[in-house]
Structure 1
Amino acid sequence: MTLTQTPKPVMLVVDDDPDVLRAVARDLRARYSADYRVLRAESGEEALDALKEVRERGDPVALLLSDQRMPGLDGVAFLSRAAALFPGAKRALLTAYADTDAAIRAINESQVHFYLTKPWDPPQEQLYPVLDDLLDDWRGEFKPGYGGLKIVGDRWSPRSHDLRDFLARNGVPYTFYDLETNDEAQELLGDEGGEALPLVILPGGERLADPDPAAVAEAVGLSRPASRPFYDLAIVGGGPAGLAAAVYGASEGLSTLLIEREAPGGQAGTSSRIENYLGFPAGLSGGDLARRAVAQAQKFGVDLLTPRDVTSLRVEGPYKVLEVAGEGEISAHAVVIATGVSWQKLPAQGAEALTGRGVYYGAARSEAVDCAGENVYIVGAGNSAGQAAMYFSQAAAQVTMLVRGASLEARMSQYLVDQIRKTPNIGVLTRHEVMAVHGEERLEKLTLKNCETGEERTVPTHFLFSFIGAAPHTGWLDGVVARDARGFLRVGDQLREDDLRGWPLERAPFPLETNVPGIFAVGDVRSTSVKRVASAVGEGSVTVSFVHQHLAGL
């Protein structure tokens, strides 16, 4: 999407002080008038009327900047009501120092994304950096109702789901035409309608019948070949740990390659809201974090290879040779394994047959719009499950969390537990599990078991999201790198005597190094790792110092 399209997205500033209002509008126009339309309002009520007119015209709204202390409707109340009109708009308060407590409370209640204190001079230091950041996030999330790819298919088809989820995670705009509910879908298919589904129609009119994600990625320019056959550092896995390693490696002068088999961000990239990441008091989505990190990595010259799967790794003296599907062999002096984990399949009768037809793994954001007014069930008690519950509660009639344990507190951060308990349309069933899922063409109902009483009952639903049993993707390393009984990689002092029998160096392995010199493991794929985004980022950045020490010894 480009901001040169008309109409321009709207930036609306609200303040009851005419002098302040003129000054803020002046500064906004000086910086953003080429790409945005700046509107002014002297009260919350006037601003709401203006937003209703904007919505009637169908114009997008990017930013709402409001003073807090206004007669009648104060800033927090205005932004809360404005969020119902334009939920995707970024919302910021302009406050006096005495009002910061109100601003922080608003942030905690997810009505405000940021607050700025008066005065904001000079704007180049106090205003523009904050707004630039918010607008970057808005552009990353904004999906216009036109343009991009067109996908024709069945909303309950696993192939359609996989393709939509892939595009959503990679930030590629698309419009989905469901054959069951959208009259235009049949028109796009044409009279013959013989093409295999899902059908992808590119902006230029080219049609791809039942393509895999890699073919679509190549068609839209998402996939690019590696620029060289050899690198100082190759990173396998584009989650937070891998992205951090890429940023630090490239910024410190290493020729760096990042290979990701699905979408940058990894499992964290599917999180709807991460609120305990340092420096983001209003939180950020996993997609935002991934987008920022990818931009930062590319700024430093990282080669990003996606979607590509690494199928094997072998060691030839000081060189590590990766076999990459669709690329052939790529070599490097050092390799960082950051492949993370994947959700395990739900051990319930009928789950496999209905995967992609109502049974989903992780927070499938491509399905969120279809959950409006539905009863959604979520299996799991970790932070990912809690974040998904909060996300789906915005549209679903009811969200029910199914937890095998006695409480949420055992595995979930307290801030999420508190939010869930305050959300009226989220219910929690402890000591419950899914025994079976039922349906022909799509999920229709679940059989739930009370683990304390043994009682079973059936409940109707079309949506079940599972967040249980994370497992590493390390089979391709079998026989090369030491793994524990569950497949996680052992590093540093976790390595056993048997693991180090072939260790060729006088020095001991570095803390994040595997049993093969120059091969490191970071993030969730590492044995006994802390399953937190900040920990993964820390390991990814720290391991680059060990990479440098390894390279110095070659």
Structure 2
Amino acid sequence: MGDVDPVLLLATTDETSRDVLGSELRRRYGGDYEVVVCASYEHARAVLEGLRRWGRQVALVIACFGPDDRNGLDFLRRAYSLHPSAKRAVAAIWGDFASTSDVFAAVAHGHAELVLLRPERRRDEEFHGAITDTLDDWHLAQGIGFEAVRMIGEQRDERTHALRDQFGRNHIPVGFHQVGTESANRLLAGLGLKDPELPVLQLAFTNPPTTLVAPTDLEIADAFGLMSPLSPDRVYDVVVVGAGPSGLAAAVYASSEGLSTMVVEQSAVGGQAGTSSLIRNYPGFSRGVSGAHLAFRSFQQAWSFGSEYSFLREVQALGADGELRTVSMSDGSVIRARSVVIATGVDYRRLGVPTLEGLVGRGVFYGAAVAEAPSMAGTEVYVIGGGNSAGQAALHLARYARHVTLLVRGASLAASMSDYLIAQLDATRNVGIRYGTAVLDGREEDGCLAALTLGEQHGGPGGGEEVPAGGLFVLIGSVPRTQWLPVEIERDEAGFVVTGGEGRLPLETSLPGVFAVGDVRAGSIKRVATAVGDGATVIATLHGYLAAHPQTTPTA
């Protein structure tokens, strides 16, 4: 059904709203989507049931709620079970303030993702902007579109999973072809490959197309041609290590204020926030925003101001060259700079269960792994964690999995998760929560995760309850990415970088000219907004440092 247009469905008993919204949808989207308009919710439900039987994709379901239609919210709640991957919107009428509390309560409980105000004029771009943003998020989650990169690999392979995740988070359109399928066989034959080492990548956007067989990250980065070779004589004002929210914010402010800026990122833009399917509490985004979209916009913004990037290269050491700082990378290159901003963030803590560690990428995933959600269709999925990232991951996976169980170490979520996420989890019928529960072991079949053994958080080895599981997503704790730093940089007992204090500038580490921002910093608040605030603040501080340490080495 890949060539059949996705469906936009509008349902309302309000004749005026139906006429206005129906004409707007058909005029703007009728060429790319099949727009279906229903005058009753019984008819709309029957249509959704039929579309599910026929395997048709539904991108967006819109229902109304106002003085002449009081049933739209209940319909949206019920529509979830028929097409859980579809976006859901409630259309309200401007000035109907009496309905506001009901509409916002529906959004808070996850019955709708966004609120649309019914257009009162032609060319209502605010209305259409909300819809196109939502459809963009839907397409990104489905992995539908232009295949700039064609990947042939094994679905449950750790390297293939890592590359799909990297490409998706970097907004690189990738088409995945499972080895052994007709499309994969056809591609391999066209490339003249027989039984190659997997995964195989074809970069369709290069001229001629470039073929990479089981490539390393460095080979992929070089093949993309995004980055010019680094000049050993070039001296940057600042090198930002890490392209999460704090690193990208630092790059935006540094480059916009005239500082020559290099950003180094070993994986994908956005950091852990980039894996979040929907961030609803970031200021300025009332409809919420996916972590990937938020990160990509910041990346483009810094790029437009002149920031340079070095992707898929791991920073291995921080040193000095006279009055300059040096950043040594995995490809052997060295970047020289007058200052360094550490924004490497954190990694999720490992489970430490040998059976499960051997199944990473084959049913066990660290992080939200948005790219893997569609492959969980019809399975039992477990998410470990009690923070916002775990809650967002559970809600996103629930759109595809038969049932999602959130495993929480403590007795409550109140202290670790936002209220709006707790409310949505409670309201989602195929999500359950188990408190005081740990994963003790796992079992595989045909090389993939098949079952988990669950038990009490502090229980000893042996015993436990075995449950079938098609996927396990681990989002517990945090380990700072600081292993590459020299001993001169002070860290706390957990490994987070200590900043500020007597004789230091705000956000400056124990090594002059080296600053730390975001989650890697000791005492930081683990929120996207505060990470962005760190990134903005550090550049104001850094200006003072650069003014006090004028450059004496000429720049090439």
Bin of the TM-score, shorter chain as denominator length: 0.7 to 0.9
1:215 maps to 2:219:
yes
User: Does the 8 Å CA contact 1:491/1:513 hold for their aligned counterparts?
Assistant: yes
Asked if residue 517 in structure 1 is aligned to residue 512 in structure 2, the reply is: yes
- Greater CA deviation, 100-109 or 156-165? 100-109
Report the more deviating stretch, 228-237 or 522-531: 228-237
Amino acid at match of 1:178: Q
Structural RMSD (CA): 3.9
Question: Does the 8 Å CA contact 1:8/1:36 hold for their aligned counterparts?
Answer: yes
Is residue 95 of structure 1 aligned with residue 96 of structure 2?
Answer: no
Match of 2:553 in 1: none
CA offset digits 1:442-480 (Å, max 9, x no partner): 222223222466552322323211122311111211234
Among 539, 545, 551, the alignment partner of 2:540 is: 545
Match of 2:453 among 440, 447, 461: 447
* TM-score, normalising length: structure 2: 0.82
Contact in 2 for aligned 1:79/1:112 (Cα 8 Å): yes
More displaced 10-residue stretch of structure 1: 257-266 or 244-253: 244-253
Asked if 1 retains the 8 angstrom alpha-carbon contact of 2:137 and 2:290, the reply is no
- Stretch deviating more after TM superposition (240-249 or 452-461): 452-461
Distance 1:63 1:324 in 2: 45
What does the per-residue CA deviation read over 1:172-214, in whole Å, with 9 as the maximum and x for residues that have no partner? 222222236x344344334972311112233265432111244
Contact 1:491 1:520 in 2 (8 A): yes
- Alpha-carbon distance between aligned partners in 1 of 2:469 and 2:141, rounded to the nearest angstrom: 28
Question: Mapping of 1:250-399 within 5 angstroms?
Answer: 250-326=255-331, 328-399=333-404
In structure 2, distance between residues paired with 1:382 and 1:531: 10
Structure 1 pair 59–388 and aligned structure 2 pair: CA distance change class (3 A): closer
SS in 2 for 1:377: strand
1:240 maps to: 245
CA distance in 1, matches of 2:18, 2:193: 62
Give per-residue Cα distances to partners, 1:69-90, cap 9 Å, x unaligned.
4867865467667875694557
The structure 2 residue matched to 1:485, chosen from 485, 488, 493, is 493
The answer to whether the Cα contact below 8 Å between 2:11 and 2:18 also exists between their aligned partners in 1 is no
Query: What is the TM-score with the length of structure 1 in the denominator?
Result: 0.82
Q: What SS is found at the alignment partner of 1:321?
A: strand
Shift of 1:336: 1.0
Partner of 2:552: none
SS at match of 2:538: helix
Matched residue of 2:448: which SS? Answer: coil
What is the deviation of 1:127?
5.0
Q: Following the alignment from structure 1 to structure 2, what is the Cα–Cα distance between the partners of residues 107 and 432?
A: 30
**420-429 or 69-78, larger mean C-alpha shift:** 69-78
| Partner residue in 2 for 1:465 | 473
Equivalences, count: 533
| Unaligned segments of structure 2, at least 5 residues | 550-556
CA distance in 1, matches of 2:290, 2:203: 28
Aligned equivalents of 1:185, 1:38: Cα separation in 2: 29
Higher alpha-carbon deviation: 97-106 or 512-521? 97-106
- Say if 2:236 and 2:336, in contact at 8 Å, map to a contact too: yes
How far apart are the structure 1 equivalents of 2:431 and 2:9? 33
- The range that moved more, 38-47 or 530-539, is 38-47
Distance 1:120 1:549 in 2: 51
Residues 1:104 and 2:110 are matched in the alignment: no
CA distance in 1, matches of 2:55, 2:147: 15
Deviations 1:143-190 (A, max 9, x none): 32663332222222222222222222222222222236x344344334
Pairwise CA distance, 1:269:
0.8
| Cα distance between partner residues in 2 of 1:59 and 1:429 | 34
Q: CA deviation at 1:516?
A: 2.0
Equivalent-residue separation in structure 2 for 1:524 and 1:192 (angstroms) = 44
Once the 2 structures are TM-superposed, how far is the Cα of residue 282 of structure 1 from its aligned partner? Answer: 3.0
Q: 5+ residue gaps in structure 1?
A: 1-5, 496-507
